[in-house]
Amino acid sequence: MQGVIGQLTSTLQNLAERYRALNSAYIKECDYRRKIFNDLQDLRGAIRVFCRVRPLIQSEIDKQETAVIDTSLLVHLSQNTVDTGKGQRRSDKIYEFDRVFDAFSSQSLVFSEMKGLVTSVLDGYSACIFAYGQTGSGKTFTMEGEEGEQAGMIPRTLETLCEEMAQHPEIRYAVAIRMIEIYNEKVYDLLGGNAQVDARLDASGRVVFPSAVVEEAKSLTQMLEILKRGNQSRRVASTASNEHSSRSHMLFFLSIHSSNSASNQTSQGNLVLIDLAGSERVSKTESTGQRLVEGQHINKSLSSLGDVIHALNNKHKHVPFRNSMLTFVLQDVLAIGNKVLMIAQLSPAGCNVQESLQSLEFANRVNKVVLGRSVENRTQPLVAKLNEAVILRERCEE
| Partner residues linked to 196 by β-bridges | 188
Query: Binding residue per annotation — 139?
Result: yes
CA 210 to chain centre: 25
Segments in the chain below pLDDT 70: 1, 26-27, 30-45, 64, 66, 68, 70-91, 236-246, 280-288, 378-398
Note if the pTM is more than 0.85.
no
Query: Binding residue per annotation — 134?
Result: yes
Length of the chain as a residue count: 398
Integer angstrom CA distances of residue 261 from 124, 381, 388: 16, 10, 16
Q: What are phi and psi of 197, to 5 degrees?
A: -130, 160
Query: Binding residue per annotation — 138?
Result: yes
Strands (E), the chain: 48-53, 69-71, 74-77, 93-96, 99-101, 126-132, 171-183, 186-189, 195-197, 200-201, 207-208, 215-217, 236-237, 245-246, 249-260, 265-275, 339-346, 378-379
Q: Where are the domains of the chain?
A: 46-397
The 3-state DSSP composition of the chain as helix, strand, coil percent (nearest 5) reads 40, 25, 35
Query: Binding residue per annotation — 135?
Result: yes
Fold of 46-397: Kinesin (3.40.850)
Query: Binding residue per annotation — 66?
Result: no
pLDDT tens-digit series, residues 248-273: 899 999 999 999 877 788 899 999 99
What per-residue confidence (pLDDT) applies to 190?
95
> Which amino acid does the sequence have at 11?
T
pLDDT tens-digit series, residues 352-385: 888 888 999 999 999 888 887 777 776 654 444 4
